[in-house]
Structure 1
Amino acid sequence: MKINYLKNFIVLSLFFTFGCSNTKYLPKGELLYTGGSVKVEDSILKKKERKNLEAELEALLRPRPNKQFLGLRPKLWIYNVAGVPKKNKGIRNWLRTKVGEAPVFYSKVDLDYNSAVLRNVIENRGYFKVKVSADSTAKDKRATAEYTVFTKRQYKIKSVTFPDDSSAIAKEIAKTSRRSLLKVGKPYDLDVIKSERDRIDSRLKEKGYYYFNPDYILAQVDSTKGDYEVSIKLKIKDETPAKAKIAYTINDIVVYPNFSILKDSVVYKKENVVKYKDFTIIDSTNTFRPRVFDRALYFKKGDFYNRTHHNLSLNRFVNLGTFNFVKNEFKESDSVKNALDAYYYLTLLPKKFIRVEVLGKTNSASYTGSEVNVNWNNRNLLRGAELFTVSIFGGADFQISGQNKGNNIYKVGGEASLTWPRLITPFNFQGSSEFVPKTKATLGYEYQNRINLYALNSFKGSFGYIWKENIRKEHQLDILEVNYVSPNNVTPYYKQEALSDPSLSKVLEKQLIFGPTYSYTYTNTMQKRKKNTFYFNGELDLAGNITGLVTGANAKKMDTIKIFNVPFSQYVKIKTDFRHYLKLGKESQLASRLVLGAGIAYGNSTSLPSIKQFVVGGTNSIRAFRARSIGPGTYKDRDTTTTFLPDQSGDLKLEFSTEYRAKLFSIVRGALFIDAGNIWLLNADPNKPGAEISKDFLKEIAVGAGAGLRFDLSFLVLRTDLAFPLRIPYLPQGQRWVIDDINFGSGSWRKDNLVLNIAIGYPF
């Protein structure tokens, strides 16, 4: 009861502090405008439709009142108490101009103007002869505005007529009628008519009508015939210019690949002109091979002008990555009737450059660290817009808390890659996307030193393709990916521990992994206005399959087959990552993720390589558990004396997370989350009882929950998550749910259960 009294006291105190105090600062004769409301009087509309319409109309009212929070106006209060600053700097000026918000006076409200706006919008929706009344209410130095909209029945479309004369353009417009946005029986809506004009214009632009535009289409609306119905007749305006009615073809195509935007005109010598297929290249320095432009340009001489090909060509030039500025111009041809000459002016980026990157990062093993990358780049190595990159990097990872505390990781390495802006294949594949398909070859080396444990030499190489169907869909196929890992400098301590725990000896084995990999990514998360957005990534990893088939490798019946005295790995691995984002409000969303993974070793391998196995727990996984502290199955590493991560990895993975995210204030965002999942082995391991997958695998799911803060610093997001377990899979049956044990007031419970994760970036 005392708590309820306290809550009421706090609410009343805030109300009087932020509410009443705001009005005492008002100038004499002024009222504080606290908002407007719209009521739609319509007996036909359903209640939900009427409410939606009222909300839409209220958003049009101007001015907007001062922002509220829980019915209060703290920003207005800050503005008032800050007072008039004496200087244009300092804390008072900052509070008043940056944090605070000036009062919105009722004297600024124009009832007639708002009424006219409402009337215009509602009539554009087909509610003709609408009436709008406006009134206001004033009390305690506050004023509100109330608008009432009286509507009649909404007009519907009775018929739609397209141009029917014999001209070529009229015939093209008539062909588009099947896809018309104007449907008989649908409500009349001016916005839909405008969209229909844009649709017709877009269609004509695909058919060569370069000079046409939507304003040349007139929609004649007749509401005199029919019962609350309109007839719409589309026609081409009489004053439409003659050239807007003509379909143009492409004549000459001229490319200036070394153009300077500082020059007013283009000056060139005859010896700088190169003719290649259907286009002309004018370049005094012979910067590129001509085929670079052949792949980028979609236009061919004699083609009808096409807006899609127009935009695709521009986007491909931009996506080559070698041009800083791309300009396109079409001019009527002097030599061919009803034809356009196309000109492309391309301004180069610097050919060579160095980029230095300083990165902050975290991983699922609860390591936090930094890395420095120095990259040297050549954007046009072989005159084919190839990107050649040489990178040297070094970094360190630290575990602030957990089993690996003190066993820091230091690494250094380098990588060289060459990317061609085409697919190097026996087949002539160009694609129809605005994104240039690419072929990429990579060679790299990394030396990693795990203090007090061991060091690893890692060599990698790959050759494959990257192509995007569109902005949402991307494919990456590595025809060959090779990884070779060799350990050295293994400490006596680690060797001794490996004798008692055979699973630790996996790290001491040389590994040779080679084979193709494929990845597909789909995302529409860039569409910020959509309520539901998705991200999907699927990966397929095939290692040593053909080699194992040819050699007849079978590690279960014979010795493993070696290449360069190293057994090669043979397996199939699949992983999917699906994410869904539900927009709840302007600054809030519900984010969910489902991860499924499976790896099957066979032939020359009896288990997946350690670097390819699945793990759970940590900052980007199930945050209530440390990295590698869960699974597989109900198995638990009971050795609490070890100072390095146990080998709790598996062949199968199931993980689910859901997180409510909302902006709290300024750069601070909050989150509430639940994580669940586990890993399992496909086959029983006598050293890991309970690790094998079974029909009761759902009873072995780990569950955790927590809350966190995210600090959006624009250049990075710093994340802190505090989590605790709800279900522990390695406890005995019937005791795995530990919700009843939660006791935030207990120091021992907090020590054993609360896990603080500090990370950079969102978990997903």
Structure 2
Amino acid sequence: MKTARYSYYALLVLSFLTLYSCSSTKNLPPGDALYTGARIDIKDNKVSKKKKKALRSQLSSLTRPVPNQRFLGIPFKLYIYNKFARAKKGPGKWIREKWGQRPVLLSDLNLNTNVQVLQNYLINKGYFHAQVTGDTTVKNKKASAEYAVHTSDQYHIDKVRFTGDSTVLPQTIRETMPKTLLKPNDPFDLQVITTERTRIDNYLKEHGFYFFSPDYLLVKADTTVGNNKVDLFMTVKPETPADARKVFRINDVFIYTGFNLQPGEMDTSKAGATFYKGYYVVDRRKIFKPKLFQQSMAFDPGDVYNRTDHNASISRLISMNIFKFVKNRFEVVPNSDSALLNSFYYLTRLPKKSLRLEINGLTKSNNLTGSNVTLAWRNRNAMRGGEQFVIRASAGFELQYSGQFKGYNTLRYGLEPSLSFPRFLVPFFNFNTKGGFLPRTTITLGYDVLQRQKLYTMNSFRTSYGFTWKESLEKEHELNPIEVNYVQPVNITPEYIDSAKENPSLYQAIDTQFILGSSYSYTYTNVLNNRPVNGFYLNAGIDLSGNIAGLAMGANINKGDTAKIFGKQFSQYTRLQGDFRFYRKVGGGNSVWANRIFTGIGIPYGNSSALPYIKQFFSGGNNSIRAFRSRSVGPGTFQAPQNAGLLAEQPGDIKLELNTELRFPIVGIVHGAVFIDAGNVWLYNEDPNKPGSLFTNKFLNELAVGTGAGIRFDLNFLVLRLDLAFPVRKPWLPEKERWVLKEFNWGSSEWRKQNLVFNLAIGYPF
């Protein structure tokens, strides 16, 4: 019986493949054939198998044309094209042009051109006596190309020498030669030589040679050394212009604040300019304080020109967010005995005032859906020093559209004014940062109201004073010496109090919270978008509260000694967290393997026995463990009462979360993903109302685990994500029963109701 079934499956697969094979050669022009690709045959036995494989891959990528795309060996796009090949208009034409791909034909192949390209590539890689021949094979309306490659021996570098006199340009080039990319015994490689010329040019640009170019460097190769060796001689071309041989210094710097991008000559006059600490600021309407530009320039008049400071000055001006365009040019000072450059910056201003409206939607895995509206009014250059004054007013709601707790809706609204300065604003100190980004000092005030209908209302007041600065595009720091949060509950309903009696953790959400502290975070990332890339992301931070006040007042909540400020008990804790993400390209670079490890620990002491609710950690939800409802996991092996529903928010002082996800393209903007999430939260101090919630050395045995798959619609500016997940490990079950994969029963409606979690979200989870 099984044999017959297997034979049926084999016949079905064979018929399917035959159908596609026939479909792929439909609609071919008479006398032509479908081009299926190229095969590289490396004939030399002296080449190792590893090098042959690498060389074959490199050469294959150079051949043209590229055959039709295939998935699992089947040219689906070609099949779609052929299916609708005769459609002149309507849906058929649209499908063909949107999803199809025309057949790549043998007539598209130029065999001689490919032979020349492959041979040139081999010569550039040091195979100076390489020979390539090509031929084609046609069978059943399908054609392929075969290239026979005779590499001969590869030449290697014997010596590298730079020749030149004792003038400043050759001397500067000699300074950088210890870091040359051209190493003895390395294979000859024209690409490395080109890169070496660029490296030397970059070094010269950092040392004042503004007009130098890589094209002024000449590399000669002597292949007569013998033993397949080559000597390289580098020199500066004799025809190199005189200005390219000079070290230039910055003379005058002119900054024009009202450039309008209209065609015509650039203004170079000093009329109406204000001279401030070496800079000429042409601001005829007196819109800016000259001090602003002195802080923005990365070099001073008299400095030797270098490209880093050149680019940094432009970047710093743009990062102030008050100029729409920044244009820069240099001009040689005429009739000067020295090599001097005048620098001109032309700035096009953004509108001083603007109004911005943002509307977004959200959905959560506990059936909450909603929207938020933010109206922001901005005054750029509020005090003539590049300050940004912003007032944000926001309002939002969350509705539960189904489930036991339908009608327990959430309303939020608030107001946040902030004032930021493009510098460090520290009393009695005056310092700046280097690089292409200006530091920024921000003072923020905020008031928010959170109203959970039928439950409670929370008033929140907050203020902060802090700094952000970037070392580079990858490294950013944020330091807030002063952070104050005050959260006060009002209008707590009897219904909520009754629920809290059954689940005492609900009292934490309505505690009065007074946080007086500081925070610091550091971010490093070389992943600047969600495209497939090899890289990583790190965000690490520390948050402190009440330590000075607690030490001064000698607070010890364990002994019943609590301290208050303005009649309110303040929180005292140290909170650490780290978010590490690692990305790696797979599948030829079209897919990405994304991983995240999140750790957090909050240590309450002195005036507190637990972290304040707004500082605690949660697990479960769209961007966490997607197989569990939002904020429902833990702490530890504790499980909230089954009737908690919408109120089952389980916070912890300690968190560990591990996520791994494989993302891959499907077709067009549609991408897929499979993932595994694991994690939990725990309490730092034991809570008798939550047995099993304390963090112990058995924490790894208390992790919740879920898995699933998802579809993403990636529009570049927006990613819509749909994930479906289910748990495979439930930490609240008895220790030997926590793995529940064996209970998987997709056909059971009751199992699906209890286990499947659908997540709809905007953006990638990490």
Matching residue of 2:240? 240
Superposed CA offset, 1:92-119 (max 9, x none): 3212322222222211211111000000
Q: Distance in 2 between matches of 1:343 and 1:370?
A: 47
Shift of 1:666: 2.3
SS of residue matched to 1:162: strand
Match runs of 1:419-438 below 5 Å: 419-425=420-426, 426-438=428-440
Q: Distance in 2 between matches of 1:68 and 1:459?
A: 58
Q: Distance in 2 between matches of 1:241 and 1:731?
A: 80
Matching residue of 1:537? 539
Q: Distance in 1 between matches of 2:724 and 2:732?
A: 22
Amino acid at match of 1:108: D
Q: Distance in 2 between matches of 1:199 and 1:192?
A: 10
**1:95 partnered with 2:86:** no
Matching residue of 1:361? 362
The answer as to whether partners of 2:365 and 2:757 remain within 8 angstroms in 1 is: no
Q: Distance in 2 between matches of 1:428 and 1:522?
A: 26
Superposed CA offset, 1:111-159 (max 9, x none): 1110000000111000111000101100011110001110111111100
Superposed CA offset, 1:32-72 (max 9, x none): 11111212223233212211111111111111112122222
Q: Distance in 1 between matches of 2:258 and 2:141?
A: 67
1:664 to 663, 666, 682: 666
Matching residue of 1:375? 376
Q: Which moved more, 1:699-708 or 1:262-271?
A: 262-271
- After superposition, the Cα gap between the structure-2 partners of 1:529 and 1:690, relative to the gap in structure 1 and judged at 3 Å, is closer
Q: Distance in 1 between matches of 2:634 and 2:120?
A: 64
Matching residue of 1:122? 122
Amino acid at match of 1:160: V
Q: Distance in 1 between matches of 2:399 and 2:606?
A: 38
- After superposition, the Cα gap between the structure-2 partners of 1:223 and 1:627, relative to the gap in structure 1 and judged at 3 Å, is same
- After superposition, the Cα gap between the structure-2 partners of 1:270 and 1:533, relative to the gap in structure 1 and judged at 3 Å, is closer
2:605 to 596, 602, 608: 602
**1:551 partnered with 2:553:** yes
Q: Distance in 2 between matches of 1:377 and 1:340?
A: 38
- After superposition, the Cα gap between the structure-2 partners of 1:656 and 1:31, relative to the gap in structure 1 and judged at 3 Å, is same
- After superposition, the Cα gap between the structure-2 partners of 1:471 and 1:364, relative to the gap in structure 1 and judged at 3 Å, is farther
- After superposition, the Cα gap between the structure-2 partners of 1:673 and 1:643, relative to the gap in structure 1 and judged at 3 Å, is closer
Match runs of 1:103-182 below 5 Å: 103-182=103-182
**1:351 partnered with 2:362:** no
Q: Distance in 2 between matches of 1:528 and 1:154?
A: 40
Matching residue of 1:265? 265
The answer as to whether partners of 1:402 and 1:626 remain within 8 angstroms in 2 is: no
Matching residue of 2:637? 634
Shift of 1:84: 3.8
Q: Distance in 2 between matches of 1:160 and 1:600?
A: 60
SS of residue matched to 1:619: coil
Amino acid at match of 1:466: T
Amino acid at match of 1:752: Q
Shift of 1:288: 1.0
1:615 to 607, 615, 618: 618
1:77 to 76, 79, 95: 79
Matching residue of 2:399? 398
**1:194 partnered with 2:197:** no
Q: Distance in 2 between matches of 1:762 and 1:683?
A: 34
Matching residue of 1:274? 274
Q: Distance in 1 between matches of 2:507 and 2:709?
A: 38
Q: Distance in 1 between matches of 2:604 and 2:185?
A: 61
Amino acid at match of 2:651: S
The answer as to whether partners of 1:258 and 1:287 remain within 8 angstroms in 2 is: no
Amino acid at match of 2:736: G
Q: Distance in 2 between matches of 1:40 and 1:530?
A: 32
Q: Distance in 1 between matches of 2:657 and 2:194?
A: 47
Q: Distance in 2 between matches of 1:268 and 1:339?
A: 16
> What is the TM-score of this pair, normalised by structure 2?
0.96
Q: Which moved more, 1:594-603 or 1:326-335?
A: 326-335
Q: Distance in 1 between matches of 2:715 and 2:593?
A: 22
Amino acid at match of 1:387: Q
Matching residue of 1:649? 651
Superposed CA offset, 1:271-329 (max 9, x none): 62111111111121112111111111122222111111111111111111111111111
Amino acid at match of 1:374: L
Amino acid at match of 1:630: V
Matching residue of 2:408? 407
The answer as to whether partners of 2:26 and 2:82 remain within 8 angstroms in 1 is: no
- After superposition, the Cα gap between the structure-2 partners of 1:454 and 1:3, relative to the gap in structure 1 and judged at 3 Å, is farther
Matching residue of 1:756? 758
Match runs of 1:575-586 below 5 Å: 575-585=577-587, 586=589
Shift of 1:372: 0.9
Shift of 1:365: 6.2
The answer as to whether partners of 2:365 and 2:759 remain within 8 angstroms in 1 is: no
Match runs of 1:317-332 below 5 Å: 317-332=317-332
Matching residue of 2:478? 476
The answer as to whether partners of 1:414 and 1:444 remain within 8 angstroms in 2 is: yes
Superposed CA offset, 1:349-373 (max 9, x none): 1111111111123468664322111
Q: Distance in 2 between matches of 1:136 and 1:668?
A: 37
Q: Distance in 2 between matches of 1:153 and 1:119?
A: 14
Amino acid at match of 2:346: Y
Q: Which moved more, 1:733-742 or 1:154-163?
A: 733-742
Shift of 1:413: 0.9
- After superposition, the Cα gap between the structure-2 partners of 1:23 and 1:512, relative to the gap in structure 1 and judged at 3 Å, is same
Matching residue of 2:249? 249
- After superposition, the Cα gap between the structure-2 partners of 1:598 and 1:450, relative to the gap in structure 1 and judged at 3 Å, is same
Q: Distance in 1 between matches of 2:335 and 2:385?
A: 33
In percent, how many aligned pairs have the same letter?
Answer: 47
SS of residue matched to 1:128: coil
Match runs of 1:517-532 below 5 Å: 517-526=519-528, 532=534
- After superposition, the Cα gap between the structure-2 partners of 1:405 and 1:762, relative to the gap in structure 1 and judged at 3 Å, is farther
Shift of 1:713: 3.6
Amino acid at match of 1:373: T
Q: Distance in 2 between matches of 1:528 and 1:372?
A: 26
Shift of 1:667: 2.1
Q: Distance in 2 between matches of 1:530 and 1:157?
A: 36
Q: Distance in 2 between matches of 1:498 and 1:525?
A: 44
SS of residue matched to 2:280: strand
Q: Distance in 2 between matches of 1:301 and 1:336?
A: 16
Shift of 1:251: 0.9
Q: Distance in 2 between matches of 1:388 and 1:594?
A: 37
Match runs of 1:689-728 below 5 Å: 689-728=691-730
The answer as to whether partners of 2:610 and 2:685 remain within 8 angstroms in 1 is: no
Q: Distance in 2 between matches of 1:487 and 1:566?
A: 13
**1:588 partnered with 2:591:** yes
Q: CA RMSD in A?
A: 2.0
The answer as to whether partners of 2:365 and 2:622 remain within 8 angstroms in 1 is: yes
1:489 to 462, 487, 491: 491
Shift of 1:583: 0.9
Shift of 1:10: 4.4
Amino acid at match of 2:249: T
Q: Distance in 1 between matches of 2:87 and 2:646?
A: 59
Shift of 1:587: 2.6
SS of residue matched to 1:642: helix
Shift of 1:243: 1.5
Shift of 1:696: 1.8
Match runs of 1:729-740 below 5 Å: 729-740=731-742
The answer as to whether partners of 1:613 and 1:649 remain within 8 angstroms in 2 is: yes
**1:386 partnered with 2:384:** no
Amino acid at match of 1:418: L
- After superposition, the Cα gap between the structure-2 partners of 1:632 and 1:527, relative to the gap in structure 1 and judged at 3 Å, is closer
The answer as to whether partners of 1:464 and 1:479 remain within 8 angstroms in 2 is: yes
SS of residue matched to 2:293: helix
